[in-house]
Amino acid sequence: MGLSLYDSATRSVRAFEPLEPGRVGIYVCGATVQSSPHVGHMRTALTFDVLRRWLERAGHEVTHVRNVTDIDDKILAKSADNGVPWWAWAYRHEQEFTAAYDALGLLRPTYEPRATGHVTEMVALIARLLERGHAYVGEPGNVYFSVPSFPDYGALTRQGSDDGEAAEVGEQDKRDARDFALWKAPKPGEPATAQWPTPWGDGRPGWHLECSAMSHRYLGETFDIHGGGLDLRFPHHENELAQSRAAGYGFVRYWMHSAWATMGGEKMSKSLGNALLVTEVLKTTPAPVVRLALQSAHYRSMVEYTDVTVGEAAANWERFTNFVTRSAEFVGERDVDGVALPDAFTAAMDDDLNTPAALAVVHEHVRLGNTAMADGDRAGVAAAQAVVRAMLGVLGLDPLAGQWRTGGAAEAALDELVGQLLAGRVEARMEKDWARADAIRDQLLAAGIIVEDSVGGARWHLKG
């Protein structure tokens, strides 16, 4: 039947048909780089990473754009509080986000434009909106979008009639409380380096304007999918939609929104003091376990990030890696290119990226593979390994691909040392020196290394 996606605009699951057969354009609202990334940020990015992988698996060429908002009120305020130039503050945190994305195995976007690199496009869009009667100039440096001029305002969220944004300092010149800033005059004390000259006065872009300008630059007047976190639906995405449509563009064909990662039922955020910084989380939890935990719930459902959630993900990851590693030892690594996916897995992913149902199919095939291994069925093991890895690859979790693959100097050294001890244990067992053999096993166990004996010999893994 093909892929169906929940469209936030129509509030319904719709069959996905790209604007151009075989090509898909996706724009995802990325980070406002005011502070360090937390797990909640990764939930949204991961949703669209999986979507991209699934589309590419189906043979589509995907252009994936994820912006960086590197000029913003909070960036200016926090950089000033810390005595750091705003652009240095933004770049530092942009690098932290990139490191977090990489650590969790997210594919790099096709393009990752910065807002400050696209002021020319923003000024052109403002001029177009002024010309078409959908914007007006306030006090020098201020330009606003006129919500009353666009009757379809609220098409995305059904909000807008009485839901104006709170007026900021310097916005007393609005004609209507619902109007929003396209261009903002500098506030007292803001650095001159955070201002750009325009025909309407020096200033900087409004938040909503940035994404409309950048998506148009890289994906054109109309593109397939616009995504982001659930909290961006209003006013950010509603305002994007209004200004882009008012400019005469078709804009977005499908809107997708990822639900939050929560703690104690509350959205993860720094303002609540409950954010789990990615750098801190990765000190105690392996990156693939974090990734698996965030996929344990459907992307439109909240995922409660707790010790229980992480513990379940760790157990599942160990089950997956143990099977894949043991099967590779038993029959070698199988080629996963072109492997047919189980119908149940395909149906789950085509059903609005139902990753929990897809993971259930993975578990079933791991069970079948383990049974085949116990029976000495080499063909069954080979087939199971290939299909399990192919499914996990769609979720960015193939244990033998990319950064999850065992290797590296430290692991090679550990493998060498453990191998020497296991060789001594084999020698002790051959000499029926059971006490020595047990002592070696206990020595490894005390170091967090579990030894498993099998028909093919002893194998080891770190305690999960």
Mean pLDDT of 130-149: 96
Q: Dihedral sign for Cα 425, 431, 432, 436, please.
A: negative
Looking at the structure, tell me whether residues 334 and 380 fall in a common domain.
yes
Mean pLDDT of 101-120: 96
Q: Which of 360, 389, 404 is the last residue of a domain?
A: 404
Mean pLDDT of 56-80: 96
What b/e sequence results for 170-198 when a residue is b if at least 16 CB atoms lie within 10 Å of its CB, and e otherwise?
bbeebeeebbbbbbbbbeeebeeebbbeb
pLDDT at 273 over 60: no
Looking at the structure, tell me whether residues 104 and 179 fall in a common domain.
yes
Residue 398 lies in a domain: yes
pLDDT at 265 (0 to 100): 61
pLDDT at 408 (0 to 100): 44
Cβ within 8 Å of residue 395, ≥6 positions away: 50, 53, 292, 295, 355, 358, 359
pLDDT at 163 over 60: no
d(CA 211, CA 236): 9
- The pLDDT-based confidence of 426 (bands split at 50, 70, 90) is confident
Count of C-beta atoms within a 10 Å radius of residue 79: 21
The residue written with tokens 């949204």 in the block is 44
pLDDT at 440 (0 to 100): 87
Q: Which of 90, 32, 22, 27 is nearest to 255 (CA)?
A: 27
Residue 450 lies in a domain: yes
Residue 178 lies in a domain: yes
Looking at the structure, tell me whether residues 457 and 381 fall in a common domain.
no
- The pLDDT-based confidence of 415 (bands split at 50, 70, 90) is low
DSSP string computed for 384-451 = HHHHHHHHHHHTT--TTSGGGSS-SHHHHHHHHHHHHHHHHHHHHHHTT-HHHHHHHHHHHHHTTEEE
d(CA 421, CA 427): 10
Q: Which of 242, 258, 274 is the last residue of a domain?
A: 258
Structure tokens at 373: 């291994």
Cβ within 8 Å of residue 392, ≥6 positions away: 320, 324, 362, 398, 399
pLDDT at 44 over 60: yes
More confident residue, 113 or 276: 113
pLDDT at 170 (0 to 100): 59
Looking at the structure, tell me whether residues 253 and 131 fall in a common domain.
yes
Residue 168 lies in a domain: yes
Instruction: Assess contact for 221 and 19: CB atoms under 8 A.
Output: no
Q: Which residues pair with 262 in a beta bridge?
A: 267, 304
Mean pLDDT of 69-94: 95
Mean pLDDT of all residues belonging to the chain: 91
d(CA 326, CA 207): 51
Structure tokens at 248: 């005469």
Looking at the structure, tell me whether residues 400 and 420 fall in a common domain.
no
Structure tokens at 341: 């996916």
Residue type, 194: A
Overall number of domains in the chain: 3
Residue 271 lies in a domain: no
- The pLDDT-based confidence of 319 (bands split at 50, 70, 90) is very high
Q: Give 166-204 pLDDT, tens digit per residue.
A: 556 557 899 999 999 999 999 999 999 999 999 999 999
Looking at the structure, tell me whether residues 93 and 233 fall in a common domain.
yes
Q: Where are the alpha helices (DSSP H) in 220-306?
A: 238-246, 278-284, 287-294
Q: Which of 126, 96, 110 is nearest to 27 (CA)?
A: 110
Q: Dihedral sign for Cα 152, 155, 159, 165, please.
A: negative
pLDDT at 227 over 90: yes
The residue written with tokens 């965030």 in the block is 294
Looking at the structure, tell me whether residues 37 and 185 fall in a common domain.
yes
pLDDT at 411 (0 to 100): 57
Mean pLDDT of 20-39: 96
Looking at the structure, tell me whether residues 189 and 41 fall in a common domain.
yes
3-state secondary structure of 181: strand
Instruction: Assess contact for 300 and 6: CB atoms under 8 A.
Output: yes
Mean pLDDT of 392-409: 84
Mean pLDDT of 222-247: 97
Looking at the structure, tell me whether residues 417 and 398 fall in a common domain.
no
What phi, psi does 368 have (nearest 5°)? -65, -40
Residue 291 lies in a domain: no
Q: Which of 391, 397, 348, 354 is nearest to 369 (CA)?
A: 391
Q: Which of 41, 12, 37, 13 is nearest to 28 (CA)?
A: 41
Residue 74 lies in a domain: yes
Mean pLDDT of 90-109: 95
Q: Which of 258, 283, 313 is the last residue of a domain?
A: 258
Looking at the structure, tell me whether residues 398 and 430 fall in a common domain.
no
pLDDT at 410 over 50: no
pLDDT at 316 over 70: yes
More confident residue, 223 or 456: 223
Looking at the structure, tell me whether residues 91 and 114 fall in a common domain.
yes
The domain that contains 72 carries what CATH number?
3.40.50.620
pLDDT at 214 over 90: yes
More confident residue, 446 or 43: 43
d(CA 434, CA 365): 37
Mean pLDDT of 22-34: 96
DSSP string computed for 119-144 = HHHHHHHHHHHHHTTSEEE-STT-EE
pLDDT at 2 over 80: yes
pLDDT at 386 over 70: yes
pLDDT at 169 (0 to 100): 56
pLDDT at 23 over 60: yes
The domain that contains 343 carries what CATH number?
1.20.120.640
Residue 198 lies in a domain: yes
Looking at the structure, tell me whether residues 357 and 453 fall in a common domain.
no
Q: Containing domain of residue 422, as a range?
A: 409-462
- The pLDDT-based confidence of 422 (bands split at 50, 70, 90) is confident
